[in-house]
A = this chain, B = another copy of it.
Amino acid sequence: MKITILGAGGMGGRFGMMLHQAGNDITLVDGWQANIDAIRQDGLQADFNGQPVTVKLPIYSPEEIDQIGDHADLIIAFTKSNQLATMFEAVKPIISENTYVLCLLNGIGHEEILKNFVNIDHLILGITMWTAGMTGPGHLSLLGDGNIELQNFTPAGKDFTLQVIDTFEKAGLNPAYSENVKYSIWRKACVNGTLNGLCSLLECNIGELGKTDVAEPMLRTIIHEFALVAAHEGVNLDEAEVYQHIAATFTAEIAAHYPSMYQDLVKNHRLTEIDFINGAVWQKGQNYNIATPYCALITQEIHAKEQILGAK
């Protein structure tokens, strides 16, 4: 399959490398010049579960998009959520009427942006439990196992989605077809919507948050707001199950982990993706006339912290 991956960070690099090794025709697009230079010069390199792996992959900046030539069968979006619109605007020339777009980004509402660039019949949504890290330009740390759930956004896209699953299966990406990917997306968004914002504001890891006596009421209120908005979109979250799912992380190995938003904001002073998590629920809530004050305040507090820290 001819696949273009937008965003050659940890996850984009992982998918590019694994799909390339399974014989697919991969092109990367990335906005970070040092990353482009490193991949062009030395290839994309990874510590792949302890083994060094290097693959040669073509990579372009968004400004070089007209050098790519052929349209891709599939575009996979692995940019930051807040760069999604800009990236798709830049790569418009490689999107044809036959191109499918797969979005595996965390959060809510990406389809609202993607609809502007691709026919919704050609949209595939999903979530992934794969992880990936970058140790420097062109260098990845790819440890552990993962899987993928995905589903076409409209019934018409099912045939191609099954082809994608076949392709991912051969690359070892452990895909599964989901009959209700929106539920999975909302359920995962609840994890990010509770842990990311609060750990970033309170500057703590997941276990430290979980040990406080206010974690449970805060989490339950946030999950309830997500559930009210999700219900309006036909997704009926099991709030008690979602809470238990998140609370289980408080005492698991992942308790020592600082969520990605903490890494972005507190450690690296980067803008966060809060507008695609709590901010998306708040925005949708306003559209549907549903009060989501916890999501609203968390979104405002994170934006305040971005501005105070001079995040970029």
Contact = CB atoms under 8 A, between A and B. Distances in A.
B217 A300 contact: yes
A307 interface: yes
Interface in A211-236: 211-215, 217-218, 221
A147 to B, nearest CB: 33
A74 to B, nearest CB: 38
Contacts of A217: 300
Contacts of A308: 202-204, 208-209, 212
Nearest to A218: B300
A301 B301 CA distance: 11
Name A's interface SS.
Answer: helix
Interface string A184-207: 000000000000001001111000
A201 B301 contact: yes
A310 to B, nearest CB: 10
A300 B214 contact: yes
A218 B304 contact: yes
B303 A213 contact: yes
Contacts of A294: 293, 297
B297 A212 contact: no
Interface in A244-302: 291, 293-294, 296-298, 300-301
Which 9 pairs between the two chains have the least Cβ-Cβ distance? A293-B293, A214-B300, A212-B304, A212-B307, A204-B308, A214-B303, A214-B304, A218-B300, A208-B308
